[in-house]
Amino acid sequence: MPIWAIPEEIYKDFPRPLSVKKFEFDANGYPHWQDCGKHAWAEYYFSDSVAKGFGSLWTNRHGLRDLFVKYWMKVAETFKGDEFVIAYELINEPWAGDQYINPLVMVPGLSEVIDMQHAYDIISAKIR
């Protein structure tokens, strides 16, 4: 999620629990790349910040899904009628959600039933 779209409480302790040291952030609010290089990118999915971010997206906590819907509505409006656009990929490599609040989202296939499909249905309906 873009840093502007999520409350600081979600990302302020990034990448906890992966590192005992909190990462330093640059002027744009992003962690310094030197810090980010301390872990493989896939490991960050297990950070509390990423879990909270995806959990907020799927459940609309902090209005995050609403912001995501507005984004996709603008994309769909911009490309409406474009003969070269055949589909949209709503999110690349989605995470199951907040495994720390609900560990069941980590059961294969269950996160789709719990939260993700509902969010996709809302987003798809709005861009149509």
Q: What are 31's strand-pairing partners?
A: 25
- Name the active-site residue from 8, 77, 89, 93: 93
Instruction: State the SS3 of the chain.
Output: CCHHHCCHHHHCCCCCCCCCCCCCECCCCCECHHHHCCCCHHHHHHCHHHHHHHHHHHHCHHHHHHHHHHHHHHHHHHHCCCCCCCCCCCCCCCCCCCCCCCHHHHCCCHHHHHHHHHHHHHHHHHHC
Answer yes or no: are the C-beta atoms of 64 and 5 closer than 8 Å.
yes
Whether residue 43 lies in the annotated active site? no
- Catalytic (active-site) positions: 93
